[in-house]
Amino acid sequence: MRLKELGEKLELKGVTQVFERDVTGVYISDMVSDVIANAKAGDLLVTVQLHSNVIAAANLVDICGIVATQGKLPTDDVVRMAEKAKITIFSTDLNRWQMATKLYEAGVR
C-alpha cells in the first residue's frame, strides 16, 4: 500500500509533505537503538518519540514514514530534517496500540 493512500484511509494528519513510498511493514518502538537493530526498510514506524535522532535512525534504516501517536508533534527543525530525508511524518491522537489495530485492519501486515 502507498503511504499517501494509507494516510488518507486512516485519517492521519500530515505533519510533513507526504512522500511517495510503499508501506511494506510496520515497526512499533520508542527506542532508536531498537529501530536500528530490528526495523526493516519500508517499515512504517509508529512511535511517540519525535526528536532528530529518530529521523537519523529512520533515515539509516530507510523507514518509509513515521506515525507520531498520542497527538505528538515534532519541532520545526525536526520537520525540516525529515523532509530533507524524504521521510513522511503523520500525527494521530490514537495511542500506539490503537494505531497498530487500525493498521492491521487496513491490511498492513
Measured from the CB atom, is 69 or 102 closer to another protein?
69
Measured from the CB atom, is 2 or 84 closer to another protein?
84
CB of 64 to another protein, least distance (A): 8
CB of 32 to another protein, least distance (A): 3
3-state secondary structure of 30: coil
Q: Biggest alpha carbon distance in the chain?
A: 33
Burial classification of residue 11, based on how many CB atoms lie within 10 Å of its CB (0-12 exposed, 13-18 middle, 19 or more buried):
exposed
Measured from the CB atom, is 13 or 96 closer to another protein?
96
* Interface contacts to another protein, rule CB under 8 A: 21, 24, 30-37, 40-42, 49, 51-53, 55-57, 59-62, 81, 84-86
Neighbours of 92 (CB within 10 A): 21
Neighbours of 33 (CB within 10 A): 10
